[in-house]
A and B are shown apart, each in its own frame.
Chain A
Amino acid sequence: MGGLEKKKYQRGSATNYITRNKARKKLQLSLPDFRRLCILKGIYPHEPRHKKKVNKGSTAARTFYLLKDIKFLLHEPIVNKFREYKIFVRKLRKAYGKSEWGTAERLKDNKPTYKLDHIVKERYPTFVDALRDLDDALSMCFLFSTFPRTGKCHVQTIQLCRRLAVEFLNYVIASRSLRKVFLSIKGIYYQAEVLGQPITWITPYTFAHDHPTDVDYRVMATFTEFYTTLLGFVNFRLYHSLNLHYPPKIDGQAEVEVKPAEGKEYAMDSESYLEKLSALSASLARVVAPTQEDDVEMDEFPVEGETAEQMDARRKEQEALEKHKKLFEGLRFFLNREVPREPLAFVIRCFGGQVSWDKSLCIGATYDVSDPSITHQIVDRPRVEQQVVGRYYLQPQWVFDSVNAKLCLPVADYFPGVLLPPHLSPFVTEQEGDYIPPEKLKLLAMQRGEDPGEETEEEEEEEEEEEEDDNDKDEEEEEEDESEKEEEIKLKKMEEQKAQSNKALPVKVTAGKVRLEDKQRLEQEQQSEEKRLAIMMMKKREKYLYKKIMFGKKRKIREANKLAAKRKAHDTALKEEKKKTKKARRA
């Protein structure tokens, strides 16, 4: 024996964690300040592996921070700024209380401010790290930029968010890095690929928010404070990677076009510039004028360990990507006033299309409705009164669906007033065994270069025609048409049954049936039994895991089946409806 007595909870995991309250006391910060600091520095609680050990034997629910994180916060210069700010507020309150306006003014002038640059650099040591974490920043900035200029948060924040968001959109247009768009009921999702990183963000539909009362806007504002800093630096870097001016400048030649007619002041100069930018119709000025030779084909170096097939596939992928980027190249769009202008303009410009709108709708319209060179006009009204020959009138979903399908979809489904085909999420990649909606199957076939959609439609039409012909005769025949074979089998069975019933006598001596031993089935049964027996011998823990996995698998299959069944029921109902209407029309 001998040696010092080992005390409990003085080593190991208990010393690596610290509760929130203790952390707060150690930092000598109030709870709101601590929260702010955690948000800005990206410190989050950790879930210890052995909670009871860390909690010193107690099982009370507590949040734990890593002690290292808190020690790291101790050296943060911003903590001092927080304290200074607290003092500043106290002084200011005192000055107001004493009605010393001069002092108050002076204090306000010397209001302590802090910068978050070093925190951004610290949290994201490399640029790619920052890009990876850009999703939330973008979503938040887009949300804040839609807030009203009154209440809720500072006007400057809203303006800054708007500016940064517009800058980012312009970058995406300039780099043509948009990949996927999705119109959900929550808002519009975009996915862009920047430097190989997929960046997804959501923007709300442009309606006034009814601001909820159970949301703490201070928390959101703190997040936004950091996000705007991050997004500003990211934008700067992105613009410079494309040789663009930052802050963005509208291309000289485009600027002339965009400039409103003289004498009519649109808005204040600083504001109108942002407006022009946010119109998304003009291209941006570059630091170095681009020359045609800039697009030098990249030399391809074979990567070691890559087979020719893989290389081929890669090249194909590259080509497809290039094609996708130029999806709307050469097309001229015109947006009617009822369609959401910004998302559509953004998407069309991202894929090389030209876009314009009504002059009264927004600044930056480049051509008129009457322009004969317009190829597509996006409308969202049941019918269009005066149609101009030579252009398609389409619903906005066509643009989004085409982008997701990576090809210009047939326009027939998207005419105004037509019942639209379902809008599918481009973010779903179906795996083996998942339910795939038939529209997706059709789309996949179309992407492969087949043209199954039309065929099936034709077939359907033919069928329908046939049906129409048959309708005059008998419905039974119709059924026969559909399933002749089945009918034959049924008939045979009926005959057999009849024969048997004829033979039926009071005393039955039935010949023993020759039971065909289905060898395959037998084997399968045996195998399944073996498996069952083996499962019986599993250890308790493994059996639990196994059952859990199997349960998940079964649930997945069940859900897929349910969806398929629902679809089938829906389709049959639709068909019957069609038939009825047809009959009614005929009658």
Chain B
Amino acid sequence: MEQPLELESDDDLTDSEESVYSGLEDSGSDSTNSSAAEEEEEEEDEGEQEEPSNGAAPKVKGAPRKSKALGADPPLKDSEGLSVPDEYEEDIRNTVGNIPMEWYQDFPHIGYDLEGKRIYKPIRNKDELDKFLEKMENPDYWRTVQDKMTGADIKLTDEQVDLVHRLQKGQFGDVHFNPYEPAIDFFTHEVMIHPVTNRPADKRSFIPSLIEKEKVSKLVHAIKMGWIKPRKPKEDTPTYYDLWAHEDPNSILGRHKMHVPAPKMKLPGHEESYNPPPEYLLSEEEKLAWEQQEPAERRLNFVPQQYRCLRAVPGYPRFIHERFERCLDLYLCPRQRKMRVNVDPEDLIPKLPKPRDLQPFPTTQALVYRGHSSLVRCLSVSPSGQWLASGSDDGTVRFWEVCTARCMKTLPVGGVVKSIAWNPNPTICLVAVCVEQSVLLVNPCLGDKLLYGATDQVLESYVPPEEERVQPVQWVTATSEEHSRGIRLTVQHSKALKQVTWHGKGDYFATVVADNSNMQVLIHQTSKRWSQNPFRKSKGLVQCVLFHPIRPYFFVATQRYVRVYNLLKQELTKKLMANCKWVSSMAIHPAGDNVICGSYDSKLAWFDLDLSTRPYQLLRHHRKALRSVAFHKHYPLFASGSDDGTVIVCHGMVYNDLLQNPLLVPVKVLKGHTLTMDLGVLDVVFHPTQPWVFSSGADGTVRLYT
């Protein structure tokens, strides 16, 4: 390991200190052979050599003498067992050369001098005892080492001992050597004005390169021969030519079939002018409204402005925006072909027969029956058409003469009259009135005396059966006081009543109880004073019931359905779906094949029973909830009264021919009732013979339209 280091140090000409150090080592190796006797000489040598070494750094490598001279204390190294054979070293006293000393181990001498005489080793005849004695006596024993080269004992000087100590500690041999000198970087990033090396420039840097010359000559030759052409200058300006020279008008690309050309931008109107007519300028309020609108909602995307002259017109700040938006529209906006509806609105109106051709129907308000103090809930006309009965919230039933509007009779009943129905049998003069929980059968005692007398007789001829049957209601004969007022019978129910309706023959009548049980609908027979409950199960909240005018059918309207029962077979025949939320009223065409249903969601459904269970037509004429509907007995008319205060009379022609659908034409909107408490018309009834219609309203009046 040390050899290369040493060589390096010798090579390095500039580093004098390194060489000094290596010299120390070298000298150590040769000192092993030197005898102790020559120690002084060595000392001298050292002294001699010191001068040149101080003066100039050793420059030439392989100078044995000098290096030896530098090695001031050769024995020291040996004592440590560090000695290494050194080829450069030569000792004058040692004549054997650089050979292993073991070869002379058994001889008394080492080598020969010039005359060929032996050079003797110093006499060593000490035994162990002597050695011990010497160790004990000689105070310098610890610093005495044997020189292997000469076999002499050498006593180390103080400096040498010191050096050994420092080497043991791993320190530098020279006391004055500073290992931490500031580093001087020769190849720094800083640009120096002088080169680090002072080498003269190479010759090749003066002479043109042959290789390059060859290359250039090749290129020149290629250019001469036209093999290499100079690069063409790039043309910036695009070249144009007649692109459409051979245009083929029929060459439509595949995608063009679906091509939707972009619509052109809207052309500007007067308001965009820099000097528009004054009416196009926005007033203050309009400007404010414009500012508050969303930019997408504005009809104009600018505020019209007026400038006195062209000079005063500024640049439009949103010009680039608008072009950009157009660009976005062109490539981002999904396109679709939209068919513009180019219809004359008049064509949309259906061609209906003129109402004039559909006469007669009520057209004007003829009479107003005043007298009730509260809203009139229900109406009924006598079969003869002479009398009109009306029930009101003020707790009275009034009987009017139709033609004169005179109130013939007022019957206080002590409760809200929910429903009233005149017996349809012309030979019986009887009115059923729903008051709270009971139905009053009233003989109004109007008209022909024989007639109402006969009615009383019929009622009185009742003979109670032998065994009392259990009935859901109680039939009570009127007291004399009640009798005098006209009340003949009272049918007491357990719950409040909603509606009463007569069968066409005039013997049976049905009532609807406001209840949720199966006892909602009851059918009563007047002549036998007997009631029955036709349904075993409740099918929903019953709104109203009706008897079929001809056949034994019974119509029950719940909120959304109308059920038709066959009374003879006692089964469900049909279930009509009204397509509305809440049925309010129902009426049956006198022929019995058509039914209309009014509903609270302002619809009127016309059912053709032969056609389907769904409405044949759904009429949305009214703006508010329908309260009642009615058919005329003879004329093809039906009417509907609604909360919006109008009665709409429609022509509803039903043909005998089954192939022809009914013709429904609205013919008249009758107005007259004033709205009170958000209620308008509550009941509508047709006159039995004339094309007249009665309506009762929330304003407490009954009106007749003829």
Chain A positions near chain B (C-beta within 8 angstroms): 35, 38-39, 43-47, 49, 63-64, 66, 68-69, 72, 109, 115, 117, 120-122, 124-127, 130, 132-133, 135-136, 139-140, 143, 156, 160, 182-187, 189, 200, 204-205, 207-212, 214-216, 219-220, 223, 228-229, 232-233, 235-237, 240, 246, 338-340, 380-381, 395-397, 419-420, 422-425, 427-428, 437-439, 529-538, 540, 542, 545-546, 549-550, 553, 563-564, 566-567, 570
Contact = CB atoms under 8 A, between A and B. Distances in A.
Contact of A535 (B251, B255, B349, B355): B349
A109 to B, nearest CB: 7
A545 B302 contact: no
29 contacts: A39-B327, A44-B260, A44-B333, A45-B333, A46-B336, A72-B253, A72-B255, A109-B234, A126-B244, A133-B261, A139-B323, A182-B268, A185-B272, A187-B316, A211-B320, A220-B324, A232-B240, A235-B240, A237-B244, A339-B310, A340-B310, A397-B309, A423-B274, A439-B277, A529-B669, A533-B355, A533-B669, A546-B345, A549-B348
B310 A545 contact: no
Interface in B211-241: 231, 234, 236-238, 240-241
Give the most central of B231, B249, B283: most A CB within 10 Å: B249
Nearest to A140: B323
A46 B258 contact: yes
Interface residues of B, number: 88
Contacts of A534: 349-352
B454 interface: no
A380 B311 contact: yes
Given A215-B320, A546-B349, A338 B355 contact: no
B324 A566 contact: no
Contact of B260 (A46, A122, A207, A397): A46
Contact of B242 (A236, A419, A422, A550): A236
Contacts of B351: 534
Contact of A237 (B242, B258, B348): B242
Contact of A125 (B241, B247, B302, B332): B247
B273 A135 contact: no
A76 to B, nearest CB: 12
Given A38-B331, A422-B277, 18 more contacts: A35-B331, A44-B333, A72-B253, A109-B234, A183-B274, A186-B322, A200-B265, A208-B315, A219-B324, A229-B238, A396-B310, A424-B273, A533-B666, A536-B619, A536-B666, A538-B350, A542-B348, A567-B278
B313 A183 contact: yes
Given A205-B316, A380-B309, A537-B350, A220 B244 contact: no
Contacts of B314: 205, 207
A69 B322 CA distance: 28
Given A46-B258, A47-B335, A437-B279, A538 B242 contact: no
Interface string B304-330: 110111110111111111111011101
Interface of B: 231, 234, 236-238, 240-244, 247-249, 251-255, 258, 260-262, 264-265, 267-270, 272-280, 283, 302, 304-305, 307-311, 313-324, 326-328, 330-336, 341, 343, 345, 348-352, 354-355, 619-621, 648, 664-669
Nearest to A543: B348
A78 to B, nearest CB: 15
A130 B244 contact: yes
Nearest to A563: B279
Top 9 closest pairs, chain A to chain B, by CB: A207-B315, A47-B336, A427-B267, A47-B334, A567-B279, A45-B334, A566-B279, A422-B277, A184-B272
Given A44-B334, A209-B319, A420 B309 contact: yes
Chain A CB within 10 Å — which of B269, B275, B355 has the most? Answer: B275
Contacts of A439: 277
B267 A209 contact: no
B299 to A, nearest CB: 10
B647 to A, nearest CB: 14
Nearest to A219: B327
A44 B265 contact: no
Contacts of A64: 334
Nearest to A382: B309
A246 B251 contact: no
B275 A420 contact: yes
B242 A240 contact: yes
Nearest to A246: B240
A246 B327 CA distance: 29
A46 B334 contact: yes
A313 B305 CA distance: 39
A122 B253 contact: yes
A423 B271 CA distance: 10
A572 to B, nearest CB: 12
A183 B486 CA distance: 91
Contacts of B236: 156
Contacts of A156: 236
B46 to A, nearest CB: 61
